[in-house]
């Protein structure tokens, strides 16, 4: 049997991250050949990967990388099976190393085929599956290019990128703040202007049906009924719709016996409430139309406008 030195074992361990005994066994089997020992460990990883292919990999680490010019960013999730592995510092380091590779590619497929210290990223994942004993794979992958790109990672579970229209003095802060909004509120599109009218119409019908069904049960229990909106998006709030809403509000004030000379003080609040009640879809899905999480008296669009810049794109990746 070939004897291997502690230095050789340590070198293999540094290259692969495998345990001391696994490295020693691989070197002995490879008769001291370092490259062959790496192949042996990789084959072990392949066998484990095949056995665990159907396992759920909903844990892991979401990481991001921005290039030196702040004009391109990537956010990627490196998924594993358990939170125990995900919290390991060496796992987080692996994820960040993969993000360092990912900044130079355009898709998950390119990332898996990219070089990682003499092997592909896909081969590295298989190798680490053998080392760790859990299924490891690339989950989400998103890139973004803009005049300025910033990022925010929340608890290693959610990552976001935000692209700004210009590299203003406080661009890093603004991009981070908007990325926090993206991570927290889960927008799926930039503005209500991006919605397809057919989608809005179908969603309106579905949401109203749900509320009306809920109200039947609430009424039976003698509880307060939910407000049934006419609309769900600013895309539907035409000049005619707003004019009708104002007319309805005036009729309500008249019915309540409010003096006409004070209507001008009451109407703005009623119209603001009307818009709020009838733009629920925008609040859920449209980044610029959401209430800004750090100041809910303004929208995200108003926040970035105050900074003298525009948001031109965003991306979001989660483990789930």
Q: Which domains does the chain have, with CATH numbers?
A: 6-51 (1.10.8.10), 59-186 (3.30.479.20), 193-309 (no CATH)
Average pLDDT over residues 38-48: 71
pLDDT higher than threshold 80 for residue 46:
no
Whether the full predicted model's pTM is greater than 0.85, yes or no, is no
Average pLDDT over residues 113-119: 91
- Residue pair 63/75 in contact by the 8 Å Cβ criterion: yes
Residue 196's Cβ-count burial label (10 Å; 0-12, 13-18, 19+) is exposed
Q: What is the mean pLDDT of the chain?
A: 90
* 297-314 per-position pLDDT tens digit: 899 999 999 999 999 999
Average pLDDT over residues 144-153: 98
Element (H, E) at 317: strand 311-318
What is the structure's pLDDT at 318? 96
Place of tokens 């990883």: 45
DSSP state string for 195-258: S-HHHHHHHHHHHHHHHHHHHHHHHHTTPPPPP--S-SSGGG--HHHHHHHHHHHHHHHHHTT-
SS3 for 163?
strand
């Amino acid at each position: 049997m070939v004897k291997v030195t502690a230095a050789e074992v340590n070198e293999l361990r540094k290259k692969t991250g495998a345990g001391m005994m696994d490295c020693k066994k691989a070197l002995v089997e490879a008769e001291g050949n370092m490259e062959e020992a790496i192949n042996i460990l990789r084959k072990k990883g392949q066998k484990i990967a095949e056995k665990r292919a159907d396992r759920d990999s909903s844990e892991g680490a979401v990481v991001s990388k921005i290039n030196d010019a702040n004009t391109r960013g990537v956010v990627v999730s490196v998924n594993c099976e358990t939170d125990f592995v995900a919290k390991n510092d060496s796992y987080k380091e692996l994820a960040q190393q993969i993000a360092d590779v990912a900044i130079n590619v355009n898709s998950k497929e390119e990332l898996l085929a990219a070089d990682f210290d003499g092997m592909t990223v896909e081969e590295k994942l298989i190798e680490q599956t053998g080392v760790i004993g859990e299924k490891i794979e690339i989950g989400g992958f998103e890139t973004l290019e803009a005049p300025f790109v910033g990022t925010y990672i929340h608890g290693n579970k959610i990552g976001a990128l935000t692209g700004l229209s210009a590299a203003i003095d406080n661009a890093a802060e603004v991009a981070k703040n908007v990325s926090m909004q993206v991570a927290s509120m889960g927008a799926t599109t930039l503005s209500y202007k991006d919605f397809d009218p057919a989608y809005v119409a179908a969603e309106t019908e579905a949401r109203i049906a749900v509320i009306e069904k809920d109200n039947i049960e609430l009424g039976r229990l003698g509880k307060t009924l939910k407000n049934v909106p006419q609309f769900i998006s600013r895309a539907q709030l035409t000049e005619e719709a707003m004019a009708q809403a104002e007319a309805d509000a005036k009729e309500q004030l008249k019915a309540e016996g409010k003096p006409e000379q004070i209507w001008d003080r009451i109407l703005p609040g009623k119209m603001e409430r009307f818009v709020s009640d009838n733009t629920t879809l925008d609040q859920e899905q449209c980044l610029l139309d959401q209430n800004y999480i750090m100041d809910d008296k303004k929208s995200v669009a108003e926040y970035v406008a105050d900074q003298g810049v525009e948001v031109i794109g965003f991306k979001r990746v989660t483990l789930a």
